[in-house]
Amino acid sequence: MAQLTIDDLRRILREAAGDVQDIDLDGDVMDLEFEAIGYDSLALLEAGSRIERAHGITLDDGLITEAATPRDLLTAVNEVLAEADAA
C-alpha cells in the first residue's frame, strides 16, 4: 500500500480542519508541533479518521493524540500501513 507523504497530510489537514493562517503549511513543517502550526487534538482526530477512510485502516486514538509533529504522525501511520501490507 502507498505510504502517506507530507503532501498527503497537508491536503488532509486542510480538508479536515481548514488552512492555518500564520504559518505556511507548504513550508518546512515536518518537525513543528501541531499546536504551533495551529491544529489542535480535534483537528488531528478528524484528520485521522480521514486517513483511516482513505486507506481502509484503523488507527488507535493514542496514535493520533501522541503524535506531536507531522513527522511523528507520518511515521506512526506508515508503520500501520506497512503492517497492513505485510498481513
Partner 1 sequence: MTGTKTATKRAEVVVTGLGVTAPNGLGTSDYWAATCAGVGGIGPVGRFDASGYPTALAGEVPGFVPEDHLASRLLPQTDHMTRLALVTADWALADAGVRPDEWSDYDLGVVTASSAGGFEFGQRELQALWSKGGRHVSAYQSFAWFYAVNTGQISIRHSMRGPCGVVVSDHAGGLDAVAQARRQVRRGTSRLMLSGGVDGAVCSWGWVAQLASQRLSPDGYRPFDATASGYVPGEGGAFLVLEAAEPARERGARPYGRIAGYGSTFDPRPDGRDREPGLKRAIDLALDDAGITPADVDVVFADAAGVRELDAAEAAAIGAVFGRRGVPVTAPQTMTGRLYAGAAALQVACALLAIRDGIVPPTTGTDPMPEYGLDLVVGEARRRPVRTALVLARGYDGNNSALIVREEV
Residue 18 touching partner 1 (CB under 8 A):
yes
User: In terms of DSSP H, where are the helices of the chain?
Assistant: 6-17, 34-37, 41-55, 61-66, 70-86
Using CB under 8 A as the binding rule, the residues of this chain from 23 to 82 that contact partner 1 are 38, 42-43, 45-46, 49, 52-53
User: Closest CB to partner 1 among 55 and 86?
Assistant: 55
The CA angle 65-18-63, to the nearest 5 degrees, is 15
Residues in touch with partner 1 (CB under 8 A): 14-21, 38, 42-43, 45-46, 49, 52-53
